[in-house]
Structure 1
Amino acid sequence: MQITRTFVVEAELPAIRDYLADFSHATEWDPGTERCERRDAGDVRVGSTWDNTSKLAGISTELVYELVELTPTSVVLRGENDTATAEDHLTFAEAGAGRTQVTYQATITFNGVAKLADPAAKLLFTKVAGEVVENITNVARTL
């Protein structure tokens, strides 16, 4: 299952990229994230990891996320557990006058019997994607 949203935020590209690369901020912009704590220390870099607890439709799940790509114009985070793999691909482009275009692509692959949840999950994640856009847009104004 894949959901993509493209939108413009009121923030310089490096600021919004760095903010989203630090996945501990997910509690501020991802409506399902209840907790997201960094496992390692130092600068956020490829290989940095986070323990993430999310809850959607009353179901809690824990994933370990890793920053797998960080370039001047992209961030890729991958979260995994026994039932699912989630990948967040974020790309950034200058949009003029201190604004940045963000393309957010979330891909969720369910494993084993969890695959049965895929059709219902698509509806839920489509709704959540709208909230993600709104939350990132609001947070970007403070960077």
Structure 2
Amino acid sequence: MITVSRTLQVAPSPSVVFAYLEDFTRTQEWDPGTVTTTRSDPPGTALGVGAHFHNVSTYRGRETQLDYVCTVHEQDRHLVFEGRNRTVHAADDLTLAPSATGGTVVTYRARFAFQRWVRYVEPFLRRGFEPIADETVARLTEVLDRLP
């Protein structure tokens, strides 16, 4: 399994940050690999545990599609979105805490458990995820700091 983790601090409060992050379709704005993310639930379905999303991403020039579900939705504190396809089980885990300055400390963890033949090349893929995590956090910080 590949795990990358980063911590960032932003000016908006945890409630503002949570309200933004709970809508996983917004990954298009901060995840450098995401091409599109759309809701898979019927219109009007509330966000929360069980909300479904379809994600199209690219990695090293290859397009992949994952179906995500929100598995943890703790208001203003914690979100987990788990995605799957034939070759990977991915999880985006976002923990929020109030900062000493009134903003929010966000800990972002991404986990990738590769399946089938891909698990054999995982050691070669591992180093490619670190720069992506750095870019993700830079974009996420920029986007979150623009929130009111």
TM-score higher than 0.5 here?
yes
Corresponding pairs, count: 143
Q: For 1:141 and 1:88, locate their aligned partners in 2 and report how far apart those are by CA, in whole Å.
A: 20
SS at match of 2:131: helix
> Structure 1 residue 79 and structure 2 residue 80: aligned?
no
Written as runs of structure 1 = structure 2, the 5 A alignment for 1:30-109 is 30-40=31-41, 41-42=43-44, 43-72=46-75, 73-109=77-113
- Kindly state the Cα deviation for residue 96 of structure 1 after the two structures are TM-superposed: 3.2
For residue 25 of structure 1, give the secondary structure of its aligned residue in structure 2.
helix
Matched, 1:137 2:141: yes
Per-residue displacement from partner, 1:25-67 (whole Å, max 9, x unpaired)? 0010100000101111332111111110000110110000111
Runs of 4+ in 1 over 4 A off after TM superposition: none
Question: What do you get for the CA RMSD once the two structures are aligned?
Answer: 1.1
1: CA distance, partners of 2:33 / 2:122: 17
Distance 1:107 1:132 in 2: 14
Q: CA deviation at 1:114?
A: 1.0
Cα separation, 1, equivalents of 2:126 and 2:91: 15
Structure 1 residue 98: deviation in Å? 3.6
Gaps of 5+ in 2: none
Letter in 2 for 1:74: H
The code of the aligned residue for 1:90 comes to: L
2:18 pairs with 1:7: no
TM-score of the two chains, using structure 2 as the length reference:
0.92
Percent identity between matched residues is 34
Match for 2:55: what amino acid? N
Greater CA drift, 79-88 or 91-100 = 91-100
Judge conservation of contact 1:10–1:137 (CA < 8 Å) in 2. Answer: no
CA–CA distance in structure 2, aligned partners of residues 58 and 20 of structure 1: 26
Deviates more, 1:58-67 or 1:7-16: 7-16
